[in-house]
Amino acid sequence: MAPDSNSAETNRSAPEERLVNLVVALLATEQGLTKDTILTSVSGYREQSAAGASKDALEKMFERDKENLRGLGVPIETIGDYADPDDLREARYRVPTSEYELPVDIDFTPAELTVLNLAGGVWSESSMSAQARSGLRKIRALGLEVDAPIIGYSPRINLREPAFDPLQRAIEQARVVTFDYLKGGDEDTHRRRVQPLALVEFEARWHVYGFDLDQNAERTFLLSRIVSAVQVTRTGFDAQLREGAGEKAVAGLQELAARQFALLEIDPGTEAALRLSRRAAPAAQGIHVSYVDAHIFADELASYGPEVRVVEPADLRDKVIARLERTLAIHGGAR
């Protein structure tokens, strides 16, 4: 006997309907809903409970749904006990309505909405900041028609650093993280305990800015140098520390780059000329290029081979030469 098509369609759509019902319920409350309230009152869980599903199974279903929604960019807040925020036994959950409302004095033309939606389509959810995802949700929640697509397809931009997602989650939840970090020029890694405050992109590389609890100081870490899984702990910190952290981090990186610059001689018409000239200033002997991290910049310069020569500083020149000599040795060449 063939299965009933209506029943099959209902089964396929049930998870999606349950997720929609959960978002609607969490948007409708300012105080938040406890897990027990959700499992007994939200459609999708309530029916499973009535059908005899165990509480453990329902809780696991809710945890999966919660993570799926967060992966889609829905900002589900977890509110713990006021006396002990880490005590989640009676935790309440909600979705702030502010995440879906634009200020009343903001308006967009159909063409502007097209460009904004295109930008949202290019960037993957994991690559967008919390602020960017929030803005895109608000725009899509307007329900307005947009102009026809301006291109036939859009690329997808994602991040390679596996540290990005857990760091982004920790920032949103205001949780301390731990990770192993390999500082430039060091051979041994060091364990870091950090209050992550902002993720910033600078010179096409991602950094996390935060407060290093062991060093008792603000620090900026390059994501590509995090060599272990990022552990998000249960230890929280004051979420207000995140205010203005991104701007402060970028300002610090810009200040560092302004103090460090290299004088380079470069062959015209080469890949090195194309890439370095974009961020260079002309000099009598060649070009000046600012940089933040000497080791990473040396890696880049060495990758151009004979197309670029470092005039100064001497320390950077030595680093580039050392990298070229190692490459030569690996390939069995003679100096």
Asked if 213 contacts 193 with a C-beta cutoff of 8 angstroms, the reply is yes
Tokens read off for 188: 């041994």
Helix (H, G, I), strand (E, B) or coil at 34: strand
Q: Does domain 12-97 have CATH number 2.40.230?
A: no
164-241: which CATH number, 2.60.40, 2.40.50, 1.10.3470, 2.30.30?
2.30.30
pTM of the model: 0.51
Asked if 209 and 200 touch (Cβ cutoff 8 Å), the reply is yes
Q: What DSSP string runs through 155-200? A: --B----TTHHHHHHHHHHTEEEEEEE--TT-SS-EEEEEEEEEEE
What is the structure's pLDDT at 1?
40
Report the 10 Å Cβ neighbour count for 120: 20
Whether the CB-CB separation of 167 and 199 falls below 8 Å is answered with yes
**The two structure tokens encoding residue 299:** 């890696």
Query: Across the 335 residues of the chain, what is the mean pLDDT of every consecutive 10-residue run?
Result: 40 64 79 84 81 84 84 78 57 75 60 57 49 50 44 44 86 94 84 94 85 94 92 93 90 89 90 83 89 88 91 93 88 61
Distance CA 89, CA 112 (A): 45
Which pair of structure tokens corresponds to residue 295?
């080791």
pLDDT score, position 122:
46
| Domain range annotation of the chain | 12-97, 101-158, 164-241, 260-330
Q: How far apart are alpha carbons 140 and 142 in whole angstroms? A: 5
Cβ contact 34:78 at 8 Å = no
Report pLDDT for 152: 42
Unique residue bearing structure tokens 């309505």:
97
Direct distance between the N- and C-terminal alpha carbons of the chain, in angstroms, rounded to an integer: 79
Backbone angles phi, psi at 266, to 5 degrees: -140, 140
State how far the Cα of 260 lies from the Cα of 291, in Å rounded to an integer. 6
